[in-house]
Amino acid sequence: MTVRIIGFAVLVACLAAFPSFFGNYPVKLLQEILIWGIFAMSLDLLMGYAGMISFVHSAFFGIGGYVAALALKQWPGLLAALVLPALAAALGALVIGFFSIRVSGVYFIMLTLAFSQMFYAYAFQVAWLGAEDGIFGVPRTSLLGVDLARAGNFHAFLLVVAALAALALWRVVRSPFGHVLRGIHENEARMEAVGYPVDRYKLLALVIAGTIAGVAGSLLTQLNGSISPDAFLWTTSGEALLMVIIGGTGTLGGSVLGAAAFILLQSLVSTYTERWMLILGLTFILFVLFAPGGIIGALRGVAGRGERRPAARAER
C-alpha cells in the first residue's frame, strides 16, 4: 500500500513538472489524456466492476460540458467550473439510471444508446445550446485568486482534479460497496438471492460514474473553450469503451493507460493518414485477439513469466 502511494505521488510530481520540459503540443496531449483518463475510469467503474456496458456515459459527459459552458459565461468560479457540472451529471444519471437498471444485458446497452442519441438530437437542434455549432468562447475561471487562463495554472488545476478523481474512484472500488459491485458482475442472481438490493447498488454506481464523467466533460470544455453536440454521441462512449478495453477492464490505472495509448496513437497516425480510424480499429482487434486483458493484463503476464523463470532455475 505504501509503495503504491509513493508511486502515485512520484507520478503526480512528474506530470506536474512536464510543462517545464516540453512544448505546448505535448502538454496539450497530456492534458487530453488526463481528461479522457478520468472519463475512462468512470466508465470502468460500471463496465469493469459492475458489469454494466453503458453507452449513455457520453450523455453525462455532454451534460457536464454544456452546463460548464453556460455557467462559466455567467458566473466564472469553482461553482460553475466543477460543482454545477457534477451535480447536473449526477441528476441526469439518477433519472436515466432509474429507467435503465430495470433491464440488463443487450437491452440495457440499447436503452442507454437510445438515451445518448436523444440528448445528441436535442443539443443538435436547439438554438440556446448553439445547435450544431455548440457553444464557443468559454472562459476559464479564477480560483482563490489564481487565474486559470494561464497555461501553467490550468495544468496544475487539471492535475489536481484528475488525482482527486482517481483517488475517489480507487477508494470506491476498494470499499465494501466496490466488493458488492464485483459480486454483481460475477453473479447478479446470487447477490440478489443473499439479500443485496442489486438495483440500488447499480443505480448508485451509475450516479457516481456519471458524476465523474460530468467533471471530465467540464474539464474538456475548459481546455478547448468550446463544446459541441458530438459530446453526446454514442461514439464518445465507444471511444471511452475502447480505452478501457485497451488498458484492461477492472483496472483504473489501465483505463488511463488505454486513454494514453488511444490519444497518442490517434495523434501519431492522423499526421500520416486520414484513415486513422482504420488503424485504431486494427489495433483494437489485435488487443482483443492477443491481449484480452489489455495493457495491464499483458504487463502482468510478462511479470508473471519473469517470476516463474527464477523459481524454475532454483528448482533445478
Under 8 Å CB-to-CB from 162, ≥6 apart: which residues?
34, 35, 37, 38
Kindly report the pTM of this predicted structure. 0.90
Residue 94's pLDDT is what?
95
Residue with cell 465494501: 176
Q: What is the pLDDT of residues 243-300, one digit of tens each?
A: 898 888 888 888 899 999 889 888 887 777 777 778 777 877 887 777 777 788 777 7
- Cell, residue 274: 486520414
CATH class of 2-246: mainly alpha
Q: DSSP labels for 215-283?
A: HHHHHHHHHHTEE-GGGGSHHHHHHHHHHHHHH-TT-HHHHHHHHHHHHHHHHHHHTT-S-HHHHHHHH
Tell me the per-residue pLDDT of 16-35, one tens digit each, with 9 for 90 and over: 898 888 888 899 999 999 99
Q: Is the pLDDT of residue 125 over 70?
A: yes
How far does Cα 81 stand from its chain's mean position?
18
pLDDT higher than 70, residue 310 = no
> Residue 159 — very low, low, confident or very high, per pLDDT cuts 50/70/90?
very high
